Structure formats: C-alpha cells, structure tokens
C-alpha cells in the first residue's frame, strides 16, 4: 500500500496569516483606545462653564443649578398637562371610545391631538393673561425673575381654583395642617395658597368630574346593549355576540345626535371662567 502524505504547509500558512491579522487588529484597537483616553483626559481637564444671562449681566450657573433646570424642563410638560384642562378632556374621550365599543378608533394620536387643541382653546384666556402680566414685562426688563414667577402663577391658580371643589380643597388643607376650612371658593381671595395645595385638589376634582361625565356617557349606549342582548336571547341566538349587532346601532345613534359637537360643547362649557 502506498502511504498518503498530508500537505500541512497550506494549513500552517493560513494559521500564520490569521495570527498576523489578529495582532494587527489588536494593535490598532490599543492605539485607538490610547487616543480616546488622551482626548478624553484633555477634554475633562478644561472646565465647561454655562453662562445664562438672568439680570442683564453675566452670571455663571453651577452644575447643581444646571441639573435642576434640566430636570424642571423635563417635568414641565407633565406638570402643565396636569394643571390644565387636558386631564378631563382625555379621560372623557377614553370613556366615550369604550362606551361605543371601539378599541382603537379614533387612534390615540388623534384623541391626544384633539384634547391638546381643545385645552389650548380653553386655556387661551389664561395663557394670554400670563403673557401680559408676567412674560412680556420680564422680557422688557420691567420686573425681576422672582416677580415674574409669582405673577405667572396667579392666572393659573385662579383657573384651577374655579374648577376645584371646596371639599377637595379642604381635604388637602387639613392634610397640610392648616386649620382654616373653606365653605365657598373665591379664586381671588385664595390665590395666595401654594401650588402644593391647589394642584392636587384641582386634579382630584378633575378626576371626579371626568368619571361622572363618563358614567353619563355610558348610560344611553348601555341601554342599546341591553335591548340588543335581550332581543337576541328571545330569538334564541345565544351564540351571537351582542356587541356585533349593537355596535352599528350605537354608531348610528352617535351620528344622528351629532355626538362629537355635543361632547365638545359640553366639555368646553363645563369649565367655569
């Protein structure tokens, strides 16, 4: 038998080339890491100062104030949404969609956009007053930053107090160890209260009103569901889902009474000016 000899030269050559490529990649990676370390050390060695002009003169803001400012900017949309008419409107729209039996119609983007524009329409007089009494004078240099913050809160407090129930306001007054009890809310006299009392009382009142409106919206559509379910049961169609039959009738009722106009008119008029 002839012995077969294996040619190991190509394999060793391939191993040599693989090691060479590996060492080249390792060296390139170490070189890039070295340059990154050097550049980052040079960048960190030079301090970065943020200068914000607050009183007409240059004033440097330290890192703690800067972080607090960024955190306030991040929380500002949520705070403004909870302090405006947006909460009541979006909850009522959600109840309406559930009452009609629609899962994703209208979509969430449409409902949120409609709620935002209705909130802008309702809050426009308050925003205008805030702009005229605080923002414009501060931009013109007529008042200081502290005075602008105090003045910009007053129209917003008046709006929230007009929508707040006395029971909810008394609840948070008692929790905050304030002994005074309010029988009737006068927005002009109570605007000196802090936002830590007015805002939670306002949100509680808004949730109560939104759930009450949602309950009233459910009643006519619930009657349609009951009529359709009893009719199908009397006809022996137990396996047919009642929602399949009742959905067109609920949509027809909503279209006939011009439901969208009625709901928007009701929501706008429900806010006390």
Task: For 187-233, write each residue's pLDDT tens digit.
Answer: 666 777 888 888 888 999 999 999 999 999 888 888 888 888 888 77
Residue 205 lies in a domain: yes
The model's pTM: 0.68
Residue 61 falls within a domain, yes or no?
no
Q: Residue 173 falls within a domain, yes or no?
A: yes
The tokens for 195 are 């936002």
Domain residues for 126? 80-269
Residue 51 host element (H or E):
strand 50-51
How many alpha carbons lie under 13 Å from residue 110 in its C-beta half-sphere?
Answer: 7
Which pLDDT score, from 0 to 100, does residue 229 have? 82
Tokens encoding 147: 């005075």
pLDDT of residue 150: 82
Instruction: Please give the pLDDT value at position 30.
Output: 53
Whether 1 is covered by a domain: the verdict is no
Q: What is the pLDDT of residue 3?
A: 44
pLDDT of residue 40: 47
For the chain, percent of residues with pLDDT exceeding 70: 71
Torsion of CA 218, 219, 221, 226, to 10 degrees: 120
Q: Which run of H or of E encompasses 60?
A: strand 60-61
Summary mean pLDDT of the chain: 76
pLDDT in tens, 145-154: 788 888 888 8
pLDDT of residue 2: 42
50 in a structural domain? no
* 147 inside domain: yes
Structural domain tally of the chain? Answer: 1
Could you tell me if residue 179 is inside a domain?
yes
Candidate from 3-7, 23-27, 134-138, 140-144 with smallest mean pLDDT: 3-7
Mean pLDDT across 15-35: 55
Give the relative orientation of helices 63-82 and 86-100 as an angle to the nearest 10 degrees. 50
Residue 112 lies in a domain: yes
């Amino acid at each position: 038998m002839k012995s077969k000899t294996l040619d190991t030269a190509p394999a060793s050559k391939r191993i040599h080339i693989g090691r060479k490529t590996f060492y080249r990649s390792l060296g390139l990676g170490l070189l890039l890491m070295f340059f990154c370390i050097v550049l980052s050390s040079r960048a960190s060695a030079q301090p970065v100062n943020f200068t914000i002009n607050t009183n007409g003169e240059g004033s440097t803001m330290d890192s703690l104030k800067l972080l607090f400012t960024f955190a306030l900017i991040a929380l500002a949309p949520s705070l403004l949404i909870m302090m405006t008419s947006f909460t009541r409107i979006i909850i009522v729209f959600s109840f309406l969609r559930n009452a009609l039996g629609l899962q994703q119609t209208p979509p969430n983007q449409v409902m949120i956009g409609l709620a935002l524009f209705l909130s802008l329409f309702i809050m426009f007089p308050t925003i205008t007053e805030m702009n005229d009494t605080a923002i414009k004078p501060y931009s013109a240099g007529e008042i200081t930053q502290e005075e602008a913050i105090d003045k910009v809160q007053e129209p917003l407090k008046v709006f929230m107090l007009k929508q707040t129930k006395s029971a909810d306001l008394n609840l948070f007054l008692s929790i905050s160890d304030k002994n005074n009890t309010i029988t009737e809310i006068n927005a002009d006299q109570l605007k000196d209260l802090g936002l830590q009392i007015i805002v939670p009382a306002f949100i509680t009142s808004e949730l109560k009103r939104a759930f009450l409106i949602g309950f009233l919206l459910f009643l006519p559509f619930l009657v349609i569901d009951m009529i359709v379910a009893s009719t199908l049961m009397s006809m022996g169609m137990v396996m047919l889902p009642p929602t399949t039959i009742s959905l067109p009738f609920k949509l027809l009722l909503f279209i006939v009474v011009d439901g969208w106009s009625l709901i928007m008119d009701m929501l706008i008029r429900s806010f006390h000016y």
